[in-house]
Structure 1
């Protein structure tokens, strides 16, 4: 939903007779998401749960609207929940002036989303709410409590912004709609070193489907090798970023 660099994916994930919504796009997308859900699942349908990969406004922007409409809580990883009120500590991992300024803006947007009353932490050890056949993979870096979701039976990975299938770090790439494994946008990533470790963690899953927060999903036997290759490349360049000021 959205255009170009602002385009964000949401996912309707079926589990037996119910379904779960993962991410809610930006603000004022609630009606569009509800309409899509009713087209897929029938009139008046509502999910068993709403999950967020992280609390950036481009992914949590319509969470309050949908939670209120459907009468549901919104779940995030425990490490992400405190950020509803505290925001992101941009100075904790200084990685350049642009990163610090963007992180401060993200913190302000997150606090202004009014999510404190509806966002709850779930325990990953107890499984994923509404999705008993999925597991939560902690993927901090883009945000402190970023979470990805993986179904081992068919190796489907919903990676949020931990791994993308469009390169948002190149100004020209989003408009080309070219599929490629890429890391999270540097300008809004809290800790690039943790982000690199999370990419490596996801590569070990060897997914066959890579459905990210931005970009067209990638499907096929070539996904796992592409993700592994990108992980190795990312780990090789990551130490150089430690010198950024």
Structure 2
């Protein structure tokens, strides 16, 4: 086990250093950073947008990954599924570099423009090292005042005609997921996960299963349940979550349905602070 753990860590460090981008379909790819996925929508020879931006000081690696796929072509915009530190951390640096706007749901705007802070992480949810460390995770508001814009109120995604955003609150007040009906592609943010987000071992041993949102940062569990049910009703063919590897096919759909039906038992921690 120790040898396997070491080998996995060494491989992860190599991927980390080289900013490896993986293509899911021709016009959707992702870069798996240390804590969260960064997603690129658009074929290499087309206009594109970036979804989520991982941690602060990650912008150079993200730029490298994007340049490997798109050359020097800047995205048309950055879309954030929500404003947590591991999804919005490099947004300011990237937006300034590319001279583009950052779009986020209006209920998240205050969290990325210096007005509000998220509640602190809940280390009492258990499940692994990430939960224990969560109380120290950043919660202060980002300062994207000059670049942040609210998404349109009609569900349209700027510069993406085939996509719409789905309101999936619960993990945060204005959390969104992105959905493309023609092929069932879902970018879920943290509405669900495909790895056990509370466990640090999941970074190294990413066994693919459908889980609820990261428990240590989820604010409204009843809202989160309704969001999972909404996602399950879409019956997506492929899911790219904020944490974990992409999943697709009947096994994924079955797990998603089971999570929606048994959310209280499967996702809500029995021991939590609130």
Alignment match, 1:19? 48
Find the partner of 1:7 among 21, 35, 46.
35
Contact 2:124 2:271 in 1 (8 A): no
Contact 1:103 1:190 in 2 (8 A): no
Hey, what's the Cα distance between the residues in 2 that align with 1:37 and 1:239? 36
Hey, what's the Cα distance between the residues in 1 that align with 2:124 and 2:222? 17
Alignment match, 1:175? 204
Larger relative contact order, structure 1 or 2 (CA cutoff 8 Å, min sep 6)? 1
Alignment match, 1:153? 182
Correspondence 1:1-245 to 2 at 5 A: 6-14=34-42, 17-42=46-71, 44-84=72-112, 85-88=114-117, 90=119, 106-108=138-140, 111=141, 113-125=142-154, 127-170=156-199, 172-235=201-264, 245=274
Q: Give the alignment's Cα RMSD to 1 decimal.
A: 3.0
Hey, what's the Cα distance between the residues in 2 that align with 1:187 and 1:161? 12
Hey, what's the Cα distance between the residues in 2 that align with 1:102 and 1:126? 32
Deviations along 1:21-76, whole A, 9 cap, x unmatched? 0001111111211222121122x211011100010111111100010001111000
Q: CA deviation at 1:174?
A: 3.8
TM-score under structure 2 length normalisation: 0.76
In structure 2, do the counterparts of structure 1 residues 40 and 203 end up closer, same or farther at CA, with 3 Å as the change threshold?
same
TM-score under structure 1 length normalisation: 0.85
How many equivalent residue pairs? 238
* Unaligned 5+ runs, structure 2: 1-14, 18-31, 126-130
